[in-house]
Structures are given as structure tokens and as C-alpha cells.
Amino acid sequence: MLLSRCDKVTFVSEGLQVKVREIWGLDLKNTAITYAGAGSKEVSNDDKRKFCDEFGIDSGSIILLALGLTSMSYKAEGLKLLIKAVKEVEKRYPDITLIATGKGIFFDELKEFANLEGADSVIFVGDVKNPYIPLALCDIYTHISLGEGLPVALLEAMSMGKPIIATSVGGIPEAIEDGQNGILTPPDVDKIAEKIIYLIENPGEAEKLGRRARQTLEERFTWRASADKFIEIYSGNL
């Protein structure tokens, strides 16, 4: 009843709109896509050093990062796949480290899962006040999830010019074009490991993907662009 009385119903991605239509069976007429935004932030060497010291991270290792995948079941299941993939990568690159942030309801379960898997290269840091510090530290941003709208964490990684490996779910393909500004992967342990190894062994390609990701962010996914879209909606132009 509420939705039918709205002047406009907005979604954070086209993928989410399709999913809602499929699950709820709602054929909403007055809709709009309002992407979130992000912007890069400077991070000092001192901040990076303190973060590494606090969590025992060797800044000279190959650092992967997964932001906020501990709060929802479909995110947690994706992180489990990533943990298994990192174990495979570790056989070739023993100096690899995966930083996982967030202290959601699946935090303890995921830590136990990593322990049972013997994944010593995974470091759970809990909630962080400034996600741009681990973003500045990481070599590759990994967003392995089984469902999404369009995660702000992904956009933040794009804003920092990081090479990205993400599952092709929800609205992620609306921001990441496989092989152009990032790498999309199915939720498969072997495939995820293969993509990680590819970027480690092809630093030039990783740099190019990160640069293009940042360019995409600056062209399409800024908070200014998001605000302009809402202004259009509220002014009745959409």
C-alpha cells in the first residue's frame, strides 16, 4: 500500500530492482535508480603504520582486503569462499594476507571457519573507523559476495584506484566491467584463486584496472552525481 502511494520508488541498482520484482512480484511503475557515491581520501604513512602495528600486519606482504562481509549471510558465505581461495593462493605466495573488516553477526562464525580451515593468512580486524586506511594498504580489493545492491565499499575501493575482483551479482556489474575496470568472477573457489594469482603476476594489468576503476567512479559514482539525481526526482523532472 505504501509503495503504491509513492511518487517515486528508488533503488540503489538496477540489479536490486529486478530482484525485488522477482521476489515480491511487484511491478512498480514510477521508479528510478539512485546510485550511491564515494570519494577518495588521503591516508598518511603514519596511519598505515599504526594500523599494521595494531593488527600484526606485515606491510611488505601481498595484501588483499574485504570490507564489511560479516553482517549478512550472503556476504558471509562469499567471504568463506574467499578464505578458501586465499588458502589456495598461499601455496604459491605464502606471504599473502587477507584483511577482513566488520564485526557483524557472522564475525565469530567466520573466525571459527578460518581457524578450522587453517587459514592463518586471514586477519579479522573488526569494525574500523576509517576504511580508507586498509584500502590504502591493500594491493587488491576483493568483494566476494553472493548478493548485493551496489556496495559502497566497492565504490570506495574504486575511488582509491584499487584493482578489484568481485562476484558478478546484484548491481556490481553496473559498476565493474570485466577486464576493463576490474575482474568479475563466479562464486567458485578455484576461479577466485585464479583471478587473484593473475593480478599478482600481472602488476601492469592490475594498475591499469585500478586506474580505470577510479576513472569510472569519478565519471559516474560521485556523491555529487547522486545528489543531482535526487534533486531531479524531488523537483519532479524524473
Fold for the domain defined by 45-219: Rossmann fold (3.40.50)
**Residue 83 banded pLDDT, cuts 50, 70, 90:** very high
pLDDT tens-digit map of 62-73: 999 999 999 999
pLDDT tens-digit map of 156-198: 999 999 999 999 999 999 999 999 999 999 999 999 999 999 9
**Residue 25 banded pLDDT, cuts 50, 70, 90:** confident
Domain assignments of the chain as residue spans, ordered by start: 3-37+223-234, 45-219
User: Per-residue pLDDT for 237 more than 80?
Assistant: no
**Residue 19 banded pLDDT, cuts 50, 70, 90:** confident
User: Per-residue pLDDT for 221 more than 90?
Assistant: yes
**Residue 1 banded pLDDT, cuts 50, 70, 90:** confident
User: pTM to 2 decimals?
Assistant: 0.94
User: Per-residue pLDDT for 60 more than 90?
Assistant: no
Whole-number pLDDT of residue 103: 95
Whole-number pLDDT of residue 29: 80
Query: Per-residue pLDDT averaged across 140-154, rounded?
Result: 95
**Residue 238 banded pLDDT, cuts 50, 70, 90:** low
Q: What percent of the chain has pLDDT over 90?
A: 85
Higher per-residue pLDDT: 2 or 119: 119
Three-state SS string over the chain comes to CCHHHCCCEEECCHHHHHHHHHHHCCCCCCEEECCCCCCCCCCCHHHHHHHHHHHCCCCCCEEEEECCCCCCHHHHHHHHHHHHHHHHHHCCCCCEEEEEECCCCCHHHHHHHHHHHCCCCEEEEECCCCCHHHHHHCCEEEECCCCCCCCHHHHHHHHCCCCEEEECCCCHHHCCCECCCEEEECCCHHHHHHHHHHHHHCHHHHHHHHHHHHHHHHHHCCHHHHHHHHHHHHCCCC
